Amino acid sequence: MISSKHSSIAAVLTECVRRRAGSSETRWLEEAGAKSVSSPAAFLEDYASAARRLGRTAAHLSPEEMDRLRQAAPGWRKTDCCLDDLGRAVLLLSATTLLERDFQNLVEKVYWQGDTRERQALLNVLSLLPGPERFLRLALDACRNNIQSLFESMACENSYPAVYFPDLHFNQMILKALFLEVALHRVSGLSQRLSSELARMARDFASERAAAGRAVPPDLELILPEKDNA
Amino acid sequence: MKIFDPHIHMTSRTTDDYAAMRAAGIVAVLEPAFWLGQPRTHVGTFEDYFSSLLGWERFRAGQFGIRHFCALSLNPKEANDPRVADGVMELLPRFLQKDGVVAVGEIGYDDVTSEEDKYFTLQLELARRFSLPALIHTPHRDKKRGTERSLALLKDVGFPEGRVLIDHNNEETLPLVLNTGCWAGHSIYPKTKMDEARMVALVKNYGAERILINSAADWGVSDPLKVPKTAALMRESGVPDSDIEKITWGNPVAFFGQSGRLDLEDLEFPRPVDQSQLWQGNSVLRGQTPMKER
């Protein structure tokens, strides 16, 4: 049985899709969701084809929709999902009824055999899935990646890193964000993960940049203790 | 003029190539799955290769404003390798569902063995099942025979010829292919196989209907700019612009558009360059969103 938590999130997301996609697309999503409950093979096919079915246009969720979504999923931070992302989220939530081990295998397949958009859609909702700590390896891989949008899907407006990443990996994600010109204010829960080690890395990074005659990003101050910001 | 190179192995090429290609007007490429130059010995290597065509390589192309599509397959050479053949056939159905896959290919013959026959046939069935067109590699040795065998197989299994692109044609195989409903691709190389001048002669002889040209640029001596160079020679030689456009844009778009997975309207506009990717240094993009044309 799908948990009531997952089914209410899926219901909100399906409604968002219904308001934007045609009726046959929405019906497709509902049928695919029903199949996902029991068939991993059907799930993988439907998950892959969701982008072609639903399109990739930005969803632009309204404030009320965001409220409803946050009520169902308190950790939700994403603001820039597209229709295929929403549809894929519905499918993932529907598949949570599978046995634990089967679900874990399925999620790993989605990631390792997924193209970039498939991976991003998964990362968007990783913290909503049962036993999210099981998927740390996938999340860390996204942060080692040089595909900007893939990195951002984990690092930005996503509660997962602040909650589940060990210090070493969280800090490395911040450094990579600096390298990739990703604004640090987009990292959810940053203030909860400040540490002297992160501050040390920031100071070393600033010094490396200064020695190379290159600019130091001003948002470095977000990870330095106040006394450094003279 | 927009150019589509419908057969090029970008995993083997550098970003210098991408930059030069974009500057020469190439805005779309099709990368078919092929062998890497030495055998893969694990099915997992194919899995990761397919993933890379869909992920990293598509991203690399996008950095240079180039749309990247792919074809996936168990290629003719490695169809002979029992370590991988069946395992790859198990992977394909899942991967053929993915965005960016617009054909089954490269399939066909290399030495014309019975294993090659078997997997060629099986993959035509996959193409049929997933409503994808097929990209057929013709052997470089005993090419005429390999082409005849390929055309015969298509007839045997009743695969619609309009959904088949027979590639690497030469003066002898082109008329055989055009006598069927198949499309005909030509790979323009620096020293071997087909060259620009001979291609111009073929176009003058046979016209532009169902004719495509590509660079097939790969790990060996090859040139990713052969399509624009051939187009230039065609122009100099008096081939009408409308024919050149058909050969370098209209035909690839029409052929691979049969997959139903090319957004034709989208393809008409050059892909936006994502400045956050290319931008190297310090300066102005502090906390602002880098320019991304949407």
Condensed to tens digits (0 to 9), the pLDDT of residues B120-158 reads: 999 999 999 999 999 999 998 999 999 999 999 999 999
Please, which pLDDT band fits residue A7 given cuts at 50, 70 and 90? very high
Residue range A26-77, pLDDT digits in tens = 999 999 999 988 888 899 999 999 999 999 999 999 999 999 999 999 989 9
The closest of A118, A178, A163 to A142, measured between CA atoms, is A118
User: Are A147 and B287 a contacting pair at CB < 8 A?
Assistant: no
Residue of A nearest to B282 (CA): A215
Under DSSP, the state recorded for B103 is E
Residues A58, A80: contact at Cβ < 8 Å?
Answer: yes
Q: Which stretches of chain A sit within 8 Å of chain B by CB?
A: 44-45, 48-49, 51-52, 112-119, 147-148, 180-181, 183, 185, 209, 214-215, 217-219
Distance (Å) of CA A209 to CA A185, A220, A225, B276: 21, 12, 19, 19
Residue from A222, A186, A188, A226 nearest A205 by CA:
A222
Yes or no, beta carbons of A115 and B94 under 8 Å apart: no
pLDDT range class, residue B162, cuts 50, 70, 90: very high
Searching chain B, which residue's CA lies closest to the CA of residue A58?
B294
Quote the minimal CA–CA distance from A48 to chain B in Å. 5
Interface of B with A in 69-128 (CB under 8 A): 94-95, 97-100
User: Residue B266 — pLDDT band, cuts 50, 70, 90?
Assistant: confident
- The helix (H) or strand (E) run that includes residue B102 is strand B101-108
Whole-number Å distance between alpha carbons of B189 and A182: 42
Contact B56 A147 (CB under 8 A): yes
**Mean per-residue pLDDT, B232-245:** 98
Task: Say whether residue B282 is in contact with chain A using an 8 A CB cutoff.
Answer: yes
Give the distance from CA B252 to its chain's centroid. Answer: 9
Q: How high is the pLDDT of residue A229?
A: 56
Across the interface, whether the CB atoms of B55 and A116 are under 8 A apart is answered yes
Amino acid at site B183: W
Q: What is the pLDDT of residues B178-222, one digit of tens each?
A: 999 999 999 999 987 899 999 999 999 999 999 999 999 999 999
